[in-house]
Amino acid sequence: MKLNLPELLPDQAEAVLHTLALVAGGLAVGLLLKFIVFRVLRAYNKRETTLLSHSVAKHLNHASTFFFPVLTLLFVLPLAPLSPKHLGILERVVVTGFVVTFAWGLVKTVDVIEDLVKQHYQLDGDNNLQVRKLFTQLQFVRKLVVSIIIFVAMALILMSFATVRRIGTGLLTSAGIASVIVGFAAQRSIANLLAGFQIAFTQPIRIDDVLVVEGEWGRVEEITFTYVVLRIWDERRLVLPINYFIEKPFQNWTRTASQLIGTVFIYTDYSLPVDEVRAELKRLVEKNPLWDKRVCVLQVTDSKERTMELRALMSASNSSRAFDLRCEIREQLVAFIQAKYPDSLPKTRTTMDTPEQPFLPAGAVAEAN
């Protein structure tokens, strides 16, 4: 049987035009559906703003612009008058787009859930130990869930191709050798990943913890699978590998609580009346709003050959308040000593012994002159 080419070409052109119209219509319907959904959501936000509706509109807006049209196209595509071969190719493209946009929407849904959790638990309170524990686990779990979503989406896309499936079957037969090679090559990455799990659930550090690492004071800003970002007090960022906090010592000033005892050292002369300075310290600390009313002590902690060392202890609710309190009390105590006991400031004494001159009569003194 011979095909009549002039008759076949118009049929093909008509099928292509019909398919293009179907695709355009499906995309238009999807965009219209997205517009209606978010129009209703914006109207609801104007009437009664809630965190859920605001977060959905913020995070899912762009992803929905692609998801709804692809979803609609997936439903109308079987109506396309194409040959099974061409229809299969088009379906594979649409399914790939659906998987990508659906994964994108799931990632943004994770952001919505994170917003809801953060709104329920506030991190800026003074006693926020439990919140920091939760946020540390939340950040790690979020990154893990997003990684799993992306990995599964890529696997679904690749496994939709027969060639990739055959390669995967062949790789599974040699999985033992491949796992040894990959494990040896990626042992440091795997160690970082395991360290990340350990930090997320044993929590030697947490989000917003105050640390002293490598001689730097700062707060934990971010914890990832491979590194930790420390926000230094002068707004620099110190980035450390995550296994650093498993293998090396560091100071955590908020491990169990945020309250802290601050120290002020003052060096004076031995003539200073310590009781008067102790009373002044108590007066200054009691009127300072940074003090948390727990500790206020002045002690003589050392005595050197020229000076006497005074140590003032005072407590505050967190490290930032403790630092400011120390600076203010140090300045005020020095001013008090300067004003009341200026002779008790540190000094160096020098005593010169002059030899005794023998007694001479007046005539002898005149002759000597």
Residue 365: predicted pLDDT: 47
Question: With helix as H, strand as E and coil as C, how does 138-163 read?
Answer: HHHHHHHHHHHHHHHHHHHHHHCCHH
Identify the DSSP state of 52: H
Least confident of 62-66, 132-136, 326-330: 132-136
Answer whether residue 265 shows pLDDT above 90.
yes
Least confident of 152-156, 227-231, 307-311: 152-156
Label residue 347 by pLDDT band (50, 70, 90).
confident
Amino acid at 213: V
Give tens-digit pLDDT for 41-82: 787 777 776 777 778 888 888 888 888 888 888 887 777 776
Alpha-carbon distances, residue 51 vs 58, 96, 132 (angstroms): 10, 32, 21
CA distance 15 to 19: 6
Answer whether residue 127 shows pLDDT above 90.
no
Amino acid at 83: S
Give tens-digit pLDDT for 86-106: 777 777 888 888 889 999 989
CA distance 139 to 203: 12
Residue 1: predicted pLDDT: 41
Of the ranges 9-23, 163-177, 309-323, which is most confident? Answer: 309-323
Residue 5: predicted pLDDT: 41
